[in-house]
Amino acid sequence: MPKRLSLLILLAAALFALPWLRTTASTPAQQAVTDAQRRWDAVAFYRFSATLDQERFPTPSVTTVTTVGQSCSRQRFYFSGQVWPAEQRMEASI
């Protein structure tokens, strides 16, 4: 009986200490995430841009020869815009 009681007391102490351990333990990864979130919250707005290249190949057909001799098609898209995180607003153009 005393072993069970001491085990129960140890378990209760561990459960009470768990929230305190979570708030005081800070690994470098946790600190990096916290710092990144703090910097993100301070961002007023940001701009972005990207170039998207799309290359489409004709689907080969086993039953017909409609795709024989067809070449691929290429398209380039420019994607840009700006974002206001605090307002949850974004403007973009393609």
Q: What are phi and psi of 35, to 5 degrees?
A: -65, -40
- DSSP code of residue 62: S
pTM of this structure: 0.45
pLDDT digits (tens, 9 = 90+) for 11-69: 676 666 666 555 555 788 888 988 998 888 888 989 999 999 999 887 776 666 666 66
pLDDT-based confidence at 70, cuts 50/70/90? confident
User: What is the CA angle 71-80-82, rounded to 5?
Assistant: 160
What's the pLDDT score for residue 56? 87
Report d(CA 77, CA 53) in Å as an integer. Answer: 6
pLDDT-based confidence at 80, cuts 50/70/90? very high
* DSSP track, 47-87: EEEEEEEEEE-PPP-SS--TTTTPPPEEEEEEEEEEEEGGG
Sheet arrangement for strand 73-84: 46-56, 73-84, 89-93
